Every structure is written in C-alpha cells, then in structure tokens.
C-alpha cells in the first residue's frame, strides 16, 4: 500500500476520520492499529521483523549501562541492515538456490522500512547510553515511534527524542490539517507528475544493455538525478503532510539540494535526516578519535562514513563506486578550501550559477553508479562512456532523443519534452511553490490548479513504487 495508490488513499481517509472522532486518549491506539495494518499490507514478515526489533531494542535500552549488551544490540541492528541489504542485492542468485526447497525468498526481502527504523533504534540506544534521556518505559509509545506509518517506508528518519514528546498531545489544529493537505498535494505533484513522467527516459537507458552514446548516458543520469530528487522529496512531502494532519511534525529531509554551490553544501541539503545520523553517530566519533592528526582525521572520517553509507544503501560494487565518487569530491573540495584559500572569486549570480552546474554535473556522474541495476550493467555503461569512441552521437534523433523518449515517435517525443519542460519550470520556481504549499492556510485556487495539473499530466495506472523503498 504505497502512498500513490488508491488503497492508501482510502486507508488514509478512513484512519483520519476514525482519528478525529476518537477521544484524545484513544488516538495513540488508532495510530498503532493503522500502522500495523499499513505494514501488513506489505507483508506479515515486515510486521514480525519490526515487532521483534523494537522489542529487543526497547529492553536493551533499559539495560544500556551493560556494555556488552549495548554493543551486542548495536551490532545486531547493523547486522540486520546488512543481512536484508545482502538478500535484496543478491536476490536473483539466491532465488535460484532456494527455489528447489520451496522457500519463498520474496517474503524475506520485504522487511519494509527496516533500514530506516533500525537507524532510529541505533541512535536511541546511543543517546540512552550517553545519558541524554531515560530509556522509554512504555512499549506502545516506543513501538509507535518505531513504526509510525507516514515515515516508516522511506523516512524522514525521526530521532526518538524529536518524535516521542509529540505522542503525548495528539490534538491536531485546523492549521495542521490545512498545511498537511497543502504539503501532501505538493508531494503528489512531485511524484505523479514530475518523477513518474521522467522515469521511462531513465529506465530505457539504464535497464536495457543497449549500445548508447556516452552523452546519452550522461543525459539519462541527469534526468535520473532530477527524478530521484522529485521521487524521494515527493515521498517526504506526502509523509510530512499526512503526519501534520495527525498533529505530528516530522523533520524536513530536503532543503533545495539542486541549488547547492558545493558538494559539502549538497550533503547538508540532501536526505538531511540520514546525514544527521551519519554525521553525529559515525563521522564525529571517528573525527574526534583521530583529531590529533588534524586534516588526516577528516579524510579518514569521510572515507569510513561514505563506505558505511554505501552499505546502508545496498551491498555491491555500484553503491561502493557511488560512495567513492562522493568521498573523492568531498576530499578534493576540503583540501581545495584548506590550501587554496587565496583563490577567491567574488560571488555573484553568474559564479553561483556555474557552481550549481558543477555540483549537478558531479552528482550526475556519481548517480550513474547509483542507478546502474547491477555490476554487469555498470561495466557495460562504463564501457559505453569511456572506452568506446562514440561519446557524441552521430545521429542525434536516433542515438540521443530516441533512447530517452522511448522510441521517439511523435506522441513519445511530445511526452518527453512536456516532462522536461514541467521539471525545468518547477525547479525554476521551486522556492516560491514550496512557500505556497507549505503554508498553514489552504488556498482553494492553488489546490484547484494543482489538482488539474495532476489529473492532466499525472501518470496513473500501475502506481509506481518510490525509489527509496528498496533501501
């Protein structure tokens, strides 16, 4: 039951109505039952995994002074992420192995949202051990904080100390509801109109091992970068909107990352909740331990943090290569800032524009590795990019437009260009649009316009999954 499905829409309406007509003391239970129902709609195994994981972490936190138990539980949480990521990455090969004994591997793969709530559990254990707050004594609250359905599947990763106090007072206001609806519409527009319209262009280049010109691959990766941003930030907008309607504020996960003027800034604006976790629980401890070595400590901390980040996304050469790109970009940027501080250009709009283009280009290059479905496809793409002499297409329509526009017939061309124009215009006016759809006042005219745009330009039918659901 994903956010852009009819089932979710019906589920959400029913839950909201039951929630509002319930006395305040029962609202927590409504959210717990709704979350259970939501998870079971994916798989029963997912529910079992989240229950077991929450139970273990709940009791372990109460005995967090016990060093061995603490480290065992943190290791177990890390093992859980790696275990499920390994099964996801190696699913094709393992499927063949398990088939003769009749074991349904797909059931295991669907531990929905595991990477997200496990991170929250690890942060919770660490903070309790550090003495920042006392361990939770009410399991129902702990469970709800772990599997609260709006943020379960792809985040934003909510730290326990941020979300827990909000469960005490579940009384949404008129403003909550209006701003929630605004934000949900904004998210649905990003997903259904922008991301899903760009998806076919990306898929036709990355999911089939066709021989393509290098520039076509770069263009597809650029489109993927934009698609990924709309898809993931769209999910977060919907999650934030849904949650606001229940009177619970989730943290912002994106801050216009495609406007970053450096890679460091990009990582401050992209998937902020995950970066917060990696910065505070992995990067800082490493950098602090090695701080006597000054610049060297930063480099080691960057390398280890991004290696772990790649393992969090999945096990395989594709994510490692993606992480390697970003380690390199960040280290080069860091040393440039340290040693070339005399090289300063006066910042103006043109310089800023060039910097933004550079960042988007670098992120686009790294996303070739991120999007490649497996190592075989990756090596094929790299071959096309660097080893073959056909970087610039000879026939632009046949070798550039056609692969991106799924054949390049008239209607496909029209769809492709419309998608690009919509995405471009949206990015151009994104800040203004965000301000409008993040406001706590429902503007009926804007709602009407966005609904019309969704119904005219949206992609309906097979509701496509959100990209970050695989992690």
Partner 1 sequence: MTDKIWNQTKQIMIEIFHQPQIEINETTTANDIVGWDSMTHMILVARIEKHFNIEFNFEEASAMENVGQMIKLINLKVSK
Q: How far is the CB of 190 from partner 1 (least distance, A)?
A: 27
- Measured over the CA atoms of residue 417, residue 410, residue 195 and residue 471, the dihedral's sign is negative
Tell me 78's DSSP state.
H
Specify the stretch interacting with partner 1 by CB under 8 A; choose among 114-122, 295-303, 433-441, 443-451.
295-303
Of residues 105 and 126, the one with the C-beta less far from partner 1: 126
Q: What is the rounded CA–CA span in Å between residue 300 and residue 39? A: 39
Question: Strand, coil or helix: what is 129?
Answer: helix
What is the token pair recorded at 156?
A: 């934003």
Query: Is residue 284 a contact point for partner 1 (CB under 8 A)?
Result: yes
SS3 8: helix
If binding is defined by CB under 8 A, does position 28 make contact with partner 1?
Answer: no
Q: State the nearest-atom distance from the C-beta of 337 to partner 1, in Å.
A: 7
Residue 132 Cβ, how far from partner 1 at the closest point, in Å? 9
* Residue 123 within binding range of partner 1, rule CB under 8 A: no
Give min distance, CB of 270 to partner 1, in A: 14
For partner 1, give the closer residue by CB, 143 or 330: 330
Tell me the C-alpha distance between 316 and 294, whole Å.
Answer: 32
Measured CA to CA, the distance from residue 310 to residue 216 in angstroms comes to 26
Work out how close the CB of 253 gets to partner 1 at its nearest, in angstroms, rounded to a whole number: 18
Nearer to partner 1 (CB atom), residue 279 or residue 438: 279
Of the ranges 51-59, 205-213, 289-297, 441-449, which one interacts with partner 1 (CB under 8 A)?
289-297
**Of the ranges 19-27, 207-215, 286-294, 352-360, which one interacts with partner 1 (CB under 8 A)?**
286-294
Q: Are 188 and 233 in contact (CB under 8 A)?
A: no
CA atoms within 13 A on the CB side of 239: 25
- Check binding of 390 to partner 1 (CB under 8 A): no
- Check residue 256 for interaction with partner 1 (CB under 8 A): no
Tallying the residues shown for the chain, one arrives at 471
Q: How far is the CB of 304 from partner 1 (least distance, A)?
A: 14
Which residue in 17, 96, 97, 295 binds partner 1 (CB under 8 A)?
Answer: 295
Q: What are phi and psi of 348, to 5 degrees?
A: -140, 180
Closest CA to 24 of 148, 142, 171: 171
Query: Is 328 a residue that touches partner 1 (CB under 8 A)?
Result: no
Closest CA to 164 of 63, 240, 250, 278: 250
Q: Which is nearer to partner 1, 279 or 307 (CB)?
A: 279
Residue among 264, 379, 390, 439 that touches partner 1 (CB under 8 A): 264
Q: Is 113 left (phi over 0), alpha (psi -120 to 50) or beta?
A: left
Q: Contact between 59 and partner 1 (CB under 8 A)?
A: no
User: Tokens 């496990």 appear where?
Assistant: 118
Task: Give the span between the Cα atoms of 227 and 203, in whole angstroms.
Answer: 11
Residue 460 CB, shortest distance to partner 1, in Å, is 42
Sign of CA dihedral 292, 296, 297, 298: positive
**Does the footprint of partner 1 cover residue 259 (CB under 8 A)?**
no
Cα distance between residue 432 and residue 256, in whole Å:
12
Q: Cis check for the bond before 329: say yes or no (omega within 30 of 0).
A: no
**308, 313, 251, 408: which is closest to 85 by C-alpha?**
313
* Position 348 contacts partner 1 (CB under 8 A): no
Whole-number Å distance between alpha carbons of 254 and 268: 9
Looking at 28, 268, 269, 465, which residue binds partner 1 (CB under 8 A)?
268
Site for partner 1 in 165-184 (CB under 8 A): none
Verify binding: residue 93, partner 1, rule CB under 8 A. Answer: no
Q: Look-up: residue for tokens 């922008």?
A: 194
Nearer to partner 1, 332 or 421 (CB): 332
Q: Are residues 116 and 253 in contact, defined by beta-carbon separation less than 8 angstroms?
A: no
Q: d(Cα 149, Cα 35) in Å, to the nearest integer? A: 5
Return the range that interacts with partner 1 (CB under 8 A); candidates 33-41, 81-89, 92-100, 329-337.
329-337
Report d(CA 114, CA 225) in Å as an integer: 24
Q: Of 41-49, 94-102, 291-299, 367-375, which segment contacts partner 1 by CB under 8 A? A: 291-299
Q: Which listed range, 12-20, 178-186, 248-256, 293-301, lies at the site for partner 1 (CB under 8 A)?
A: 293-301
Site string for partner 1, 130-159 (x = CB under 8 A): x-----------------------------
Distance in Å, CB of 159 to partner 1, minimum: 15
Stretch that binds partner 1, among 42-50, 171-179, 283-291, 406-414 (CB under 8 A): 283-291
Cβ closest to partner 1, residue 24 vs residue 342:
342
DSSP 216: H
Kindly tell me the burial class for residue 440, based on how many C-beta atoms sit within 10 Å of its own C-beta (0-12, 13-18, 19 or more): middle
Q: Is 352 an interacting residue with respect to partner 1 (CB under 8 A)?
A: no
* Contact residues: partner 1, CB under 8 A: 130, 264, 268, 279-280, 283-285, 287-288, 291-292, 294-295, 297-298, 301-302, 330, 334, 337, 341
């Amino acid at each position: 039951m994903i956010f852009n499905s009819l089932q979710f829409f019906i589920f959400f309406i029913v839950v909201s109505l039951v929630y509002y007509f319930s006395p305040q003391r029962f609202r927590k239970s409504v959210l717990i039952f709704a979350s259970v129902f939501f998870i079971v709609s994916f798989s029963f195994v997912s529910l079992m995994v989240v229950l077991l994981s929450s139970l273990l972490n709940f009791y372990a936190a109460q005995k967090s002074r016990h060093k061995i138990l603490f480290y065992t539980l943190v290791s177990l949480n890390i093992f859980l992420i790696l275990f499920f990521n390994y099964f996801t990455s190696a699913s094709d090969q393992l499927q063949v192995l398990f088939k003769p004994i009749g074991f349904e591997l797909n059931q295991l793969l669907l531990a929905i949202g595991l990477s997200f709530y496990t991170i929250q559990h690890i942060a919770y254990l660490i903070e309790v051990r550090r003495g920042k707050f006392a361990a939770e004594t009410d399991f129902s609250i702990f469970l709800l904080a772990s599997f609260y359905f709006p943020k379960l599947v792809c985040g934003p990763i909510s730290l326990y100390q941020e979300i827990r106090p909000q469960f005490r007072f579940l009384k949404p206001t008129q403003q909550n509801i209006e701003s929630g609806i605004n934000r949900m519409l904004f998210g649905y527009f990003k997903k259904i109109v922008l991301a899903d319209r760009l998806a076919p262009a990306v898929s036709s280049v990355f999911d089939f091992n066709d021989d393509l010109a290098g520039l076509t691959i770069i263009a597809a990766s650029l489109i993927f970068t934009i698609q990924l941003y709309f898809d993931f930030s769209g999910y977060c907008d919907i999650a934030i909107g849904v949650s606001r309607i229940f009177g619970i504020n989730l943290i912002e996960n994106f801050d216009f990352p495609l406007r970053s003027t450096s890679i460091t800034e990009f990582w401050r604006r992209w998937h902020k909740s995950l970066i917060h976790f990696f910065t505070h629980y992995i990067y800082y401890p490493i950098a602090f331990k090695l701080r006597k070595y000054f610049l060297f400590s930063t480099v080691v901390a960057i390398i280890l943090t991004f290696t772990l980040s790649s393992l969090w996304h999945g096990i395989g050469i594709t994510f490692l290569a993606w992480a390697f790109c970003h380690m390199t970009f960040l280290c080069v940027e860091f040393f440039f800032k340290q040693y070339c501080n005399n090289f300063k250009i006066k910042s103006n709009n043109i310089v800023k524009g060039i910097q933004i283009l550079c960042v988007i280009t670098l992120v686009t290059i790294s996303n070739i590795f991120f999007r490649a479905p497996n190592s075989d496809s990756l090596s094929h793409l790299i071959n096309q990019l660097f080893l073959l002499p056909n970087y610039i297409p000879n026939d632009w329509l046949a070798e550039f437009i056609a692969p991106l526009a799924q054949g390049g017939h008239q209607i496909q061309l029209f769809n492709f260009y419309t998608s690009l124009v919509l995405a471009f215009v949206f990015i151009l006016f994104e800040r203004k649009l965000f301000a409008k759809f993040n406001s706590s006042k429902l503007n009926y005219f804007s709602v009407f316009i966005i609904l019309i745009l969704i119904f005219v330009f949206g992609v309906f039918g097979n509701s496509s999954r959100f990209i970050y659901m695989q992690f």
